Amino acid sequence: MNFQDIILAKRYGRKLTNEQIRFFVDSVTDMSIPDYQISALLMAIVLNGMDDEETTSLALFMAESGKTVDLSAIPGKKVDKHSTGGVGDKCTPILLALVSSFDIPVAKLSGRGLGFTGGTVDKFESICGFHTEIPIDDFPGQIEKVGMVLSGQTPDLAPADKVLYALRDVTGTVDSIPLIASSIMSKKLAGGADAIVLNVTYGNGAFMKNKTDAIALAEKMIRIGHLSKRKVTCVLSPMNQPLGKAVGNILEMQEVVNTLKGFGTDDLLEICIRLAVEMILLSDKAAEHQPDSLRSLCEKKIRSGSAWKKFSQFIVAQGGQVDASGNPIFCDVPVEVEAMRSGRKGYVESISAEQVGRASVVLGAGRREQSDKIDYGAGIVFSKKVGDAVEFGDKICALFMGQSHPKDSSRVAEAIEILEAGIVISSEPVLSTDDEIVVMK
């Protein structure tokens, strides 16, 4: 097969055959075609799209390009969860404990931070001793012991996606619905779950900048699920301001603990409960509960402390240290180094999630280069959210750095500058925005 013919077919808007897509993925995996030809095809896909059948084939062949995880030794239906990314998105640790407190087995493969968005693996690694490299063979044993397990994604999971993702990042071909849908679904299909709940975020801190695009992406992933015989539910949620109060690894994990103890912010708790309900509905336990009762049952699991107890047991099971009350012990102490205050009386009109993400990376909470070491104590905690009234001089947010890292004034100044460009205070009360959560199946 000639690769140039495949590029030309897509350039002229033709549908690619299964064989052509397989040849494309195989050639990417064994690196037998040069990057410029792959990039040309990616651009043709961005411009001319792919239908559901093509996108599903791409997802399936990418899933098969490396190892696929076999979770069949874990009894019951396994439900996975994935978020398309966000700032302050600490749903996974909360959800794992919440869903697991219903005796549903949860096996999660998670990633590290990407760009200005945080990663679950980095967050858990802020706990002293916590292991994030759990061999797949050890999953059933740990599930039997504590009901949940979390591991970093292995490099041999969907390797074709890794090559394509790195190229897309530098060739202006990231934001294409078939490419994003096949990239996400390839990893989920390779991950071995029977059913998948996807949190599709939209807004300035997400890949999808508006709800219309988020709906199109969700529809595509649901259809890929249907064609590959996996149940997929998408929960669409806004990402125009950071989720909850904290951004940064230890700061977010502290917020996770507070949320599981019943002191979560409304936006964070709401999305976690909506995601948990959909995960339970896809599990074997769905038949044991009235669907309408699941929301209040989730609230009860938090109020009664069962979800928090699960979380603490899980930390210990993965080698993490906890104190006498079961609270995780972190590898550093976040220290407040600066506060950003309102320069006027008014209302918080907007807090750009993207700018906040960028500012937290500057403080050290994420990596600018892949080899960068993270400052686990770095980040930002908000005292005000969109819609709140502020007086002149009120604290909007506090900037933190880890105690073991020397205070770097130039980084703090740069972070403040980024935040100032991303936070708007207006004199008028803020009208409600189009921020509702939508579930699609």
Is 168 a residue of the active site? yes
What's the rounded Cα separation, in Å, for the pair 90 and 368? 21
Classify strands 195-202 and 423-426 as parallel, antiparallel or unpaired.
unpaired
At 180, list the tokens: 């994003």
Whether the Cβ atoms of residue 96 and residue 120 lie closer than 8 Å to each other:
no
Is 183 a residue of the active site? yes
Q: Considering only residues 74, 180, 224, 356, which one is a binding residue for ligand URA as defined by CB under 6 A? A: 180
Phi, psi of 348 (to 5 degrees): -75, 115
The residue among 101 and 182 lying less far from ligand URA, judged by its C-beta, is 182
What's the rounded Cα separation, in Å, for the pair 324 and 275? 31
The residue among 166 and 333 lying less far from ligand URA, judged by its C-beta, is 166
In the bound complex, what is the minimum distance in angstroms from residue 86's beta carbon to ligand URA?
11
Stretch that binds ligand URA, among 51-59, 175-183, 373-381, 382-390 (CB under 6 A): 175-183
The residue among 93 and 119 lying less far from ligand URA, judged by its C-beta, is 119
Q: Is 160 in the site for ligand URA (CB under 6 A)?
A: no
Binding mask 119-158 for ligand URA (x = CB under 6 A): ----------------------------------------
Q: Considering only residues 44, 62, 184, 222, which one is a binding residue for ligand URA as defined by CB under 6 A? A: 184
DSSP state of 138: G
* Best CA proximity match to 386, nearest among 205, 123, 207, 261: 205
The residue among 85 and 152 lying less far from ligand URA, judged by its C-beta, is 85
SS (H, E, C) 207-225: CECCHHHHHHHHHHHHHHH
In the bound complex, what is the minimum distance in angstroms from residue 82's beta carbon to ligand URA?
8
The residue among 159 and 346 lying less far from ligand URA, judged by its C-beta, is 159
Q: With CB under 6 A as the rule, give the number of residues binding ligand URA.
A: 8
SS (H, E, C) 27-89: HHHCCCCCHHHHHHHHHHHHHHCCCHHHHHHHHHHHHCCCCCCCCCCCCCCCEEEEECCCCCC
Percent helix, strand and coil across the chain, each to the nearest 5: 45, 15, 40
In the bound complex, what is the minimum distance in angstroms from residue 318's beta carbon to ligand URA?
24
Is 289 a residue of the active site? no
Phi, psi of 327 (to 5 degrees): -75, 140
The residue among 180 and 281 lying less far from ligand URA, judged by its C-beta, is 180
Q: Is 183 in the site for ligand URA (CB under 6 A)?
A: yes
CA dihedral of 206, 211, 217, 222, whole degrees rounded to 10: 120
Q: Which residues contact 229 (CB under 8 A, 6 or more apart)?
A: none
What's the rounded Cα separation, in Å, for the pair 113 and 201? 16
Say which of 10, 81, 82, 123 is annotated catalytic. 82
Binding mask 201-230 for ligand URA (x = CB under 6 A): ------x-----------------------
**Chain residues 63-92 in contact with ligand URA, contact rule CB under 6 A:** 84-85
Q: Is 27 in the site for ligand URA (CB under 6 A)?
A: no
Task: Tell me which residues touch ligand URA (CB under 6 A).
Answer: 84-85, 165, 179-180, 183-184, 207
| Catalytic residue numbers, as ranges | 82, 161, 168, 183, 187
